[in-house]
């Protein structure tokens, strides 16, 4: 089973080779997945090789052989890092609004999650998005549009819509909406290191940021993701 980013890369390699007769270069793969550096591609390639989907051939340029075709459309995978396993589940791209979807809920689309603007300033209850009910549990929820590539290796891409449960509490390893020093908001993975709080990116091009316990306020926890193709 593959993570979403591994699946994206495998499909790109397979399609590129079918069209051009040779695999893509690492630079072409980096550009296609909108990564800032090739180190992320190297990790994804290693993951695909370990799972038996591709084989790297020594001493040859563009030396990647596809051993197994990509899984069928409509399936994605997401890493459950804290559980140490990969979760596979059916997922279909959704559009706004979700016409004909039963058991859906209208949630406020607060805007784009970008550094420099607290969540409260983004709220605009006149804009809503319909979200399938299975995303939601108890409590209040809202939706944000993701800007940037800092969480790509967690399967969260620029332009995605994330479903957030409003909460001030989160477990170690949760992906959260964090308000930093009452002025900057970000979507990152939460790690507690003694009395400090680390906000981890899921992209080697972005650094982990360390803060004191009173510098960070949790404003919500990621519970779902919607993507438009």
3-state secondary structure 146-159: ECCCCCHHHCCCCC
pLDDT at residue 123 in the model: 54
Which residue matches tokens 């108890």? 138
The residue to which tokens 């800032």 are assigned: 36
**What is the pTM for the complete model shown?**
0.54
Region 105-124: mean pLDDT is: 65
Give the residue-averaged pLDDT of 175-203: 90
- Say yes or no to pLDDT of 159 above 60: yes
Q: What is the mean pLDDT of residues 202-209?
A: 88
* CA angle (174 as vertex; 168, 179 as ends), nearest 5: 45
Q: Is 217 annotated in the active site? A: no
Residue 189 pLDDT: 93
Q: How confident is the model at residue 114 (pLDDT cuts 50, 70, 90)?
A: low
Q: Where are the domains of the chain?
A: 4-90, 104-226
**Span 23-70, pLDDT tens digits:** 888 888 888 888 877 788 888 888 888 888 888 875 455 678 888 888
- The string of pLDDT tens digits covering residues 115-139 is 545 455 455 556 778 887 777 878 8
Mean pLDDT of 4-16: 88
Asked if the 4-90 domain carries CATH number 3.20.20.70, the reply is no
Active-site option among 17, 37, 85, 150? 150
The active-site residue, picked from 188, 196, 217, 221, is 188
Choosing among 2.10.109.10, 3.40.50.2300, 2.120.10.30, 2.30.130.60, the CATH entry for 104-226 is 2.10.109.10
Identical fold, 4-90 and 104-226: no
* Catalytic residue list contains 46: no
- Per-chain mean pLDDT for the chain: 77
Asked if 194 contacts 148 with a C-beta cutoff of 8 angstroms, the reply is no
Could you tell me which residues come within 8 angstroms of residue 183 by beta carbon, excluding any fewer than 6 positions away? Answer: 116, 118
Render the chain in DSSP notation, one character per residue.
---HHHHHHHHHHHHHHHHHSSPPPHHHHHHHTT-SSSHHHHHHHHHHHHTTSEEEPTT-TT-EEE-SPPPPTTEEEEEETTTTEEEEEE-----SS-TT-SSEEEEEEEEEE-TT--HHHH--TT-EEEEEGGG--SS-EEEEEE-SSTTGGGT--TT-EEEEE--S---TT-EEEEEETTTEEEEEEEEEETTEEEEE-SSTTS--EEE-TTTEEEEEEEEEEE---
Structure-token pair, residue 227: 């993507």
């Amino acid at each position: 089973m593959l993570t979403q980013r591994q699946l994206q890369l495998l499909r790109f390699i397979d399609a590129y080779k079918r069209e051009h007769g040779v695999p893509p270069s690492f630079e072409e793969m980096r550009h296609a997945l909108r990564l800032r550096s090739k180190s992320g591609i190297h990790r994804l390639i290693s993951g695909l090789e370990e799972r038996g989907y591709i084989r790297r051939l020594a001493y040859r340029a563009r030396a990647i052989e596809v051993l197994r075709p990509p899984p069928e459309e409509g399936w994605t995978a997401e890493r459950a890092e804290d559980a140490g396993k990969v979760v596979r589940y059916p997922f279909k791209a959704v559009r706004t609004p979700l016409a004909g979807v039963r058991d859906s809920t209208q949630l406020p689309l607060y805007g784009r999650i970008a550094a420099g603007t607290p969540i409260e300033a983004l709220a605009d209850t006149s804009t809503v998005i319909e979200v399938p009910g299975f995303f939601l549990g108890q409590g209040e929820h809202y939706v944000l549009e993701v800007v940037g590539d800092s969480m790509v290796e967690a399967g969260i891409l620029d332009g995605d819509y994330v479903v957030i449960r409003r909460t001030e509490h989160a477990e170690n390893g949760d992906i959260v909406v964090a308000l930093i020093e009452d002025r900057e908001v970000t979507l990152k993975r939460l790690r507690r290191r003694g009395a400090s709080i680390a906000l981890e990116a899921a992209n080697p091009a972005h650094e982990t940021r360390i803060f004191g316990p009173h510098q960070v306020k949790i404003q919500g926890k990621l519970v779902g993701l919607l993507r438009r193709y």
